[in-house]
Structure formats: C-alpha cells, structure tokens
Structure 1
C-alpha cells in the first residue's frame, strides 16, 4: 500500500472535516508540489503563503479606517480563495515563522479567519514544515498551534519519486476518503466517547517534555477533530486510519485507541433503535456506553419526535440489565435534546426521574 496514497487520503478526509493538516519532512521532499498537484487534480486554486517572509499584519490583515470604524483588510491570497469559494491555502515553512507570525496563524489554521474575512468552507488548510533543527533559523511550534493540526510525516518512497519524475508531479494518487453519512458520523463519535469513558485520563494529556508540545497530543480539541475526520476514512483503510489517529493524538494514545476500536465492534445505531435486543446490555460497560452514545447522537441529529422516543428503548434495556448508572449517563444528553413536541414515555419517567428533574422535563406531558 502506498504511503503517499495514505497521505492524500488523510489530507482529503481532514479537508472534508475542516481539520488542518501539517506535512512534516526534510527539505526538498516535495510537499508544496504535492499540494499543488492535488489542487490541480481537483480543479481548484492553491495559494502558498511563506510565513518566514511575512509580517503578522501580512496575514492578519492591515487596519483600514472606514466610515464605520477600523477593519482588518484581508490580503490578496485570502480574497482570491474567497472568490473561488474553494481551494487550498498552503502555509509553507511553518517552523521558520517567528512566534509573532505563528500566533497570527492560530485563527487562520483552525477558524479559517484572515483579517475580518472568513474563508469559505470549501477552502482547505494545509501547512508544510521541516523539523526545527533542519529548518533555516527554525522555531519550535507553539503548543496551541501544534494542537490545531493533524501532523503527517511526509516521506515519499523511491518508487513514488520515480513515478513523479516519469509522469509529472501533477497527478497524485487518488484519495480513498469517503463522505460520511449521519449514521457513520455518530458511530465514530461513539468510538471516541466510548474510549474516553474507558480511559478518561487520555482526554487531555499535555506533553511532559518541551519537544512533545510541538507535536500531536490528546486534548479536547484534537479528540473532536479526530472524530470528525475519522468518519471520512474507511474502516478497512488501516494505513490512513493510523496516520490520521497518530497525527492528531500521538502514537502512544493512538495505539490504545485503535486497539480499543478493533475490539469494540459497535453495531449500527439505527439498527439498535429498531431492535434493542440485538445488543448484549450486560457486556462491558465501556462498550455499552459507546453503543448508547451512538444511539443518542443519532437521535439528536435526526431531531424528530419518533427518533427521540425510540432512543429511550436501549437506555431502558441497559437499566433493566443492571447498569442504571451507564443508562443515566446517556439519559442526560438525550433528555437535553428533546424535540419541542415530544412527550416523555411513562416508563422513562419512572426509571429516570432524577435525570428528567435536572432537565426540567418532569412536568412535561407523558405518553
């Protein structure tokens, strides 16, 4: 399996989820050529910004006095991308940017904000960097900036380089990313929340060494980014799943998470709503929680009275199976997302009265 193909897949999956990617390699590996090639293959523009030769105002925007006050006028590269409504913004030589420029790139990388201009959703953010010790006047990435990227080591093989020399660099491998539907999005969220329920100490683990703060590490932000991006990668694409996971939460925790996912084997949340008996509710609490989390997420995204009422079925089954604490934990978010016209089932009122009291639903109509 081509590593370059996995890299292209990760870039695509992250782009669909609005997650910025950082390509890390020695100088001369062809990072900018890859991004230009991907953009050309998709028929969208690619704007390259060299932070090492920019001042903070060149990226954040220059202040301009208008009749209504002072605005930050966005630079031309941002205007061109906004007009195109799609494309790639390639932030090159990120580790040669001084701290003041890195600080400006915080908003650009994650919020897609340049000056007072919000870039369209169709614009994808990719950065390129050399290790600080191999960059000209290199700077370590600040922890807040590092935690905003999916870090991908970029090292094309000899065969991939030979292919590029032969056919040109404008034809990168095809992406294997998929467009996640609602069910898959909720299922992947459940994998993440189920793992954190199992290993809460991994929710936020700031690195203990200075070197570690410039790489990927688990935080509330990076877990949310992983859930969003991983939904766009096929379950059988091991190379892309691993690169994406390691790139957002680090290798150590990433191995634990992927191992947990392999053993979770979660069912389709829509199938569980239709027939709660397909799940063994007396099984591992972390797996039961993950199943319930997917069910609640699916019902919340559906936002219908029918889906909300049906979602209580698996929770009641869990409570009856001897895990009322797990069921109550899932009942809190489900109660909070009640559609306006939904009536609380009588069995739910009797079983989860404390939760309904806290959500202000005790006095609601019962069916």
Structure 2
C-alpha cells in the first residue's frame, strides 16, 4: 500500500466523524457516500478506532468477519414456498429505519474472492437485491491487512477496490500515549514510549511471535496495572511474550529506573526534598509519575502539590518542563472527550480532541510561580501550542494566550 497517503489515528477518526455527521444531517447522502477501507498492519488499532467511535457516539457496531463466513450467511437461506422461494435474512442486519451505526467488514482482505463477491451488494449498493436495504443512518466500512503485512491477505477485485475510499493507518506513538493516559494505562509504558518511540511498532520477520504494536503495548500496560500477584521476573516473562525481546529488554531496563527514583507522591506532599533525575530516560519516567499523581489526593493538598510541581518544573530543561506542563493541563476525562465528539454530530467543527482542562489550566496559570515559569520556559511552551500539541478549549484558550 506504499502508493497511498498514510494517515494517523486522529486523521482516521476525523474522517469517520465527518462521514457520520454527513449522513446524520443529510441521510440521502448515504447512498452516494464511498465506503471507507482502512488498511494497516496487524495490531495498529483499526477495529479499536471504529469501536471507540461507536461507543462515543452511542451508535451500534456490527462487526462482520467475512473470512469466517459462507456466502449464504450474507444473503440468507432460501426457503421453498410453493412455486417460489423466500429468503431468511441473517438477523444481524439492522431493521429499524431510524437506527444508526457502523457496519465494519473487518479483516476484509483475509476473505477470498468468493466471499468478497458475496459482500459486493451490501458494501457497494447498501442492499441485498430486493430483499433488504440498509437504513441510511449506517456507515459501511472495511478494514484489513496489506499484502506486505505478513498476514493472510487476498487482493481485491478492481470492481471492489474502485468503490472504496482507501485509508492507510500508520501507528503513532505520541497519539497512542495520549489515548493511554485517557484510559488510565500504566505510566511506565507511556513514559517509555515517549522516551523510545522507535519501539512502539516493530513488525519484522519474527512476527509469528510477540512483537510491539499498539495492541500489544496496551496489553502490557493493562498487565502491569492489574493485581496479578506476579513478581518482576514473572512479569518479564509475560511482557517478553507480548512484545518480544527486542522491545521487552529495553523496556524493563527503563522500568527498573523507577526503583532509583524518589517517591513522587511524597515529594509532591513535601515529605521529602525536591530532586530531579540527571538522566533523560529517568526524567521521562519521573515526569510521567508527576503527571499521574498531581491531581490525585485530597483537594486540601492541591496548593502544596502545585508548589512542588513548579519547584520541580523550574529545575527541568525547557523540553521536559513543557512536556510536563502540557500533560498537567490536558483534559483526559473520557466524559469530556465523549461529549466533545458527540457534539460534532450536531454541526460543530471536529478538531483535535486533546484539549486543555479549563480548571486545571486556571490553577496552573494563576499560581504565583507561573510568571517565573513562563520567563524560563514560555517560548518552548508557545512553540508547542503553535504546533498543535494541545488544543485549548474556548474557555481555556484566552487564559493560556494571555498568560504567555
């Protein structure tokens, strides 16, 4: 698929949101809308993106794996009825004319030509002969692996390929880290992938075993966050099985730096003196721990935590201080993100949903040490905002710009 423009997860989400918005505002457009075909290597998050969008919009998802079906499963079973034949349609097709959702033909490229042909009508014409028509509130999509992705894959016929709008999804470590924070995944995994993004996705000749991908890193993060009762050696075995030794060895070397770091929560509470790591790898881990702990705990401790936050941040170089401030200001609330994305269905412009939290940004900006912080790190921070690393909300934007 090298002749295609590649897109990151945010691009894909924006395109899907735009199509959902179009068929919501003008259902007549559904018939003319080109179905989306999402290409990408195994584990890059194709189906996860679609599933999350359906959850965020409160719409249905019908996931059809053609490679596990027979052609008759799509059109239905013929049943003799006197001098003619009736058809029993599969129960999964939506019947409510006002229903909304996405039909995802996942692993479409793993289906052979016979199965692809069986799906032509519903994908291309949104109907099954005279038997069934797909309600206009439904978006049709496909997803699959390319021929060079070391996965089961069949080429598309020209008729099928020419009807799709083809998108090639490329894994993006930075966006995955933002998503992982929103999900509350283990901070050591997030910090490691910020420090060493080259280990985020490594599809190689040993891909029949564990290898690093967005999917496998999520599993690592959830494993480390769970109360498994496993010791460090046993966790190492499992992580190695999930992402392979090429990524697991440097990850554990990085994670073990945590044992050398001071207790960040105690530092924020003023129980131990402020100190910052000298090594850059340890600083990534240190900053991730601060971000994780800053807004936790009793509200009465907020002033104390913020005092120490600024004391720490003023000791960091501008790159780390900017990263820390951006992470502290981010709105990682899933309810806020879902509300923002749902609003897009009613005519609001979709954009980067990684937004500044108005209240948190206000607490930071109004802190007495913020002026000193901007004197030291303000240019780096302004550059990061200009590059779109964070999108201020309407309320927070004026505060941030005025403070700079």
Q: Same fold (TM over 0.5)?
A: no
**Coarse TM-score class (shorter-chain normalised):** 0.3 to 0.5
Please give the TM-score of this superposition, normalised by the length of structure 2. Answer: 0.40
